[in-house]
Amino acid sequence: MDAKQAALPPQPAVYEALRQKAAAELGQEEGEAAQPLWLRVEDLLVGGLAVGALLLCSYNVIVRYFHPQWTLELVDEVQVYVIVWAVFLALGAVTVADRHVKADLFVSMFPPRLRRALEIFVDALGLAFALLLVWYGAVAAWQAWSFGDVSTTSLRFPLWIYISALPAGGVALALGYLVRLRRRFAGGH
């Protein structure tokens, strides 16, 4: 314990448990390997897209209040595209951190060997889904590009860029499941 922590009053056990859980979720446990480069790049992209969407939304809200004539019609549409891209790009990091929504109440009661087998099966199934998402998303994006599909708004945004979030998210998801499978076979959790 360092001097800074010693000066603080004793904390209830619940606070200490929450601090340890937060540190574990943020990957700050002692001896834990650094986050892979692709996950750090993904975090920066997703964070940048989220900040961009927030700035676009904030601009339109402020401008609508003070100078309605400066409101940009395209902001609402672009904001949706940016958020969709951010959500799909975040799939890899969410998968690696095991933060997907899941119903695992009964699975946690299974014996360890059965639980491990089910986790490997679920990760393999997730990887298969991710690869299907890459394939079918790429086909949909290619068709949108080859047909010259654009949005129906005055922006006339090329829809292949929007639809390309599907295969990009599928690649991130596949990488996430590959990392999880590698951890499971290496003896990790």
Give the total residue count for the chain: 189
- In contact, 87 and 168? CB cutoff 8 Å: no
Q: What is the pLDDT of residues 61-76, one digit of tens each?
A: 999 999 989 888 888 8
pLDDT per residue over 36-58, tens digit each?
A: 787 788 888 899 999 999 999 99
Q: Model-level pTM?
A: 0.75
Domain locations in the chain? 35-101+109-185
> For residue 56, how many other CB atoms are within 10 A of its CB?
18
* pLDDT category of residue 109 using cuts at 50, 70 and 90: confident
Contact assessment for residue 176 and residue 96, using Cβ atoms and an 8 Å cutoff: yes
Give the model confidence (pLDDT) of 125-176 as tens digits: 999 999 999 999 999 999 999 999 999 888 899 999 999 999 999 999 999 9
Q: For Cα atoms 167, 80, 148, give the angle at the middle one, nearest 5 degrees.
A: 60
Cα–Cα dist 185/120, whole Å: 9
Report how far residue 119's alpha carbon sits from residue 113's, in angstroms, rounded to the nearest whole number: 10
